[in-house]
Amino acid sequence: MNIIAIDIGTSNCKAVITGMDLKVFKTFEYATSPIKPKQGWNEQNATTIFKEVIKLLQQSINFCGEENVACVSFSAAMHSLLAVDKSGEPLMNMLTWADLRSAKYAQALEKSNLGKKLYKATGVPIHAMSPLCKLMWLKAKQKAVFRRAYKFISIKEYIFLKLFNKYIIDHSIAAATGFLDAKNICWYGEVLKLAGITEEQLSELKPVEYYETALLPSIKRKLKITKKIPFVLGASDGALANLGSGIVNAKNAAVTVGTSGAVRITSNKYLIDKKQRLFCYYIGDGFYITGGALNNGGIVLQWLVEKILKESFRTETRLDALFTAAASVKPGSNGLIFLPYILGERAPVWDENAKGCFIGLTDTHTEAHITRAALEGVCYAVVDVLRALEENSGNINNIYLSGGIIKSDVWVQLLADISGKKIMLNEAADASALGAAFIGMKALGKVKNITAAKMFLQNVKTVKPSVANHRIYKKYFAVYSSLYGRLKDVFAELTAMN
């Protein structure tokens, strides 16, 4: 028997097929392109994504044979927002997490006592990524759409609506909306009032292992199936990435650095940061995913190569040469520090106005210094979130690292030296999809608790920090961590000028 894990992301949709031992043996994938009508806007067409999901299901079921499909389970990106009418048809393009048009509403709310109260109750930092802030923008700027909306939903809710004609949302996706009371696991009345909507305009809350089997007849015909296959709600991609990597306690952190990045722990405590630097999202069985997402990971290196050096980011020999040159530079890049906020930033500053900048630039600095400073800057940003986590949850022993960063030994060593922690290279492919498959197993009664996901914990290689280099980096990190506070008002002024 097989499990089909459908992972709905903002850059691709994929189907990962596993056996009942959760070993992957087939993947199907489609790229999804964002729609960017204006700077700071980031949309997707929900109907197009649904069609891609149907194609993935058709391919997967055909590959497995319907008699061999134990269940279908879902992973999806967080923070999407779509308004639909009474017939379930979209009234707009879906807004993704990267859409920043609600920034001014987020910034005003974040500064208020109400914003602090909402963060404490929901665990969602006040930021333009949040569906709450997106709804505030929609109410003010798209009044006709807001008035006509029957429901406000995410992309995964839309998929289940089209499959089963039901409005249902899992606890994990709901936890990232800004509308969920994170302790009592119910819709939070005060935030509904702020957004100007009712509970009836949101979907029905369900556990991540909840499933439906009664597909609409038209969908059954498209998929060419006759048996009742459980379609499991699953969870958010971030939460499932932790489970798919085997991170089930607060002593290990899952760190991903791809185009963007994330730092997360799994805890049985609702951890709220007094400085509002971290998110805390419920997943199930009394467990929460706590951490922070970074806008700026590998995109920093891509920017440097393509926009500054005017070269191809896809040329591996050139990238290798850059890493080699960076490795020849001493820790601290000869007094050069890079604040890597070229796309604004989420954790730990949650500021859409944040900007990237080099501090300490002199005529002694070369391409190698600038490259190393950029790589160090991304590592500083990761450690900034790690430090916030440790302040709230206690010491983190190990970092389980995944993403494109692991292709560079130089960059991995920099993260070890700057963090002062052992890096466990985790090469588990498609961690979010594996997490979805695991939730499928839970829905089928094959595992009892989320902690069973520790089966995925793997360590291909360990990278230890240099004690001498870490001693140097502690001084540089102290300077780095003070920079945003000193420059925050300057960033806001620069944004206002454009």
What b/e readout covers 447-468, taking b as 16+ CB neighbours within 10 angstroms?
beebebbebbbeeeeebebeee
**pLDDT tens digits for 202-234?**
999 999 999 999 999 999 999 999 999 999 999
Q: Tell me: the pLDDT tens digits for 16-33?
A: 999 999 999 999 999 988
Specify whether the CB–CB gap between 213 and 233 falls below 8 A: no
The pair of structure tokens assigned to 469 is 């280099």
Distance of CA 491 to the CA centre of its chain: 25
CB atoms within 10 A of CB 5: 32
Beta-carbon contacts of 263 under 8 Å, excluding residues fewer than 6 positions away, are: 253, 254, 255, 291, 292, 294, 347, 382, 385, 386, 389
Other Cβ atoms less than 10 A from the Cβ of 66: the count is 13
- Determine how many CB atoms are found less than 10 A away from the CB of residue 407: 13
Q: Which residues of the chain have pLDDT under 70?
A: 427-429
Confidence (pTM): 0.94
- Side-chain half-sphere CA neighbours of 83 within 13 A: 19
The predicted structure's pLDDT at residue 361: 97
- CA separation, residue 292 to residues 122, 238, 352 (Å): 15, 10, 15
Q: Look at residue 429 in the predicted model and tell me its pLDDT.
A: 64
Q: What is the pLDDT of residue 459?
A: 74
Two structure tokens written together for 416: 């070890």
Q: How far apart are alpha carbons 492 and 107 in whole angstroms? A: 11
Residue 171 tokens, joined: 């606890």
Q: What is the pLDDT of residue 39?
A: 87
Closest CA to 233 of 172, 180, 181: 172
* Pick from 313, 329, 422: nearest CA to 376: 329
The radius of gyration of the chain from alpha carbons, rounded to an integer in Å, stands at 22
Domains annotated on the chain, with CATH: 2-240 (3.30.420.40), 298-424+466-497 (3.30.420.40)
